[in-house]
Amino acid sequence: MTPRQVRAASRVIAAADAAIVALGVLALLFPGQLIPGYEHYTGYSWPALMHTSPATGHFILAGFCLVGALNVAVGLPLSVIALTAFRARQRWAWWTLLTANAIGLGAPIICDLTTGAIGPLRAARMGPAGGGAAGP
């Protein structure tokens, strides 16, 4: 790859990793946006859960926040690696970005498919063309 291609690739990768960070921040600030996944997966409504077991509901929300924190914790270093070591053509950076981004981008998609979650976070990740706004 030419230096120009490497610079362009590093920007694209850093942008994808910045999206992971942004989704993590959204999950941290608005964990309730992930509730549709709970409702679809369990078949129970969120208000019913909060009425019968509010502690369980708060625990689930804490888990959603944890997922958001992990996205931020992974996305920030990956962005830095993309803009520094990858741009310097260090071989380890390529493998690190490949592996971590495959997991970091693949895991939420698998989670959405498993739980049937359709919310603003999925819409932001998939975009209107990807069916995020109108999914099944």
pLDDT tens digits for 2-60?
A: 989 999 999 999 999 998 899 889 989 998 888 888 888 888 999 999 999 999 999 99
CA dist list (Å): 75 to 7, 14, 70, 102 = 19, 9, 8, 12
pLDDT in tens, 65-85: 998 898 899 999 999 999 999
Spell out the residues 6+ positions from residue 121 whose beta carbon is closer than 8 angstroms to its own. 23, 26, 27, 33, 34
CA dist list (Å): 107 to 58, 93, 110 = 23, 21, 5
The model's pTM is 0.74
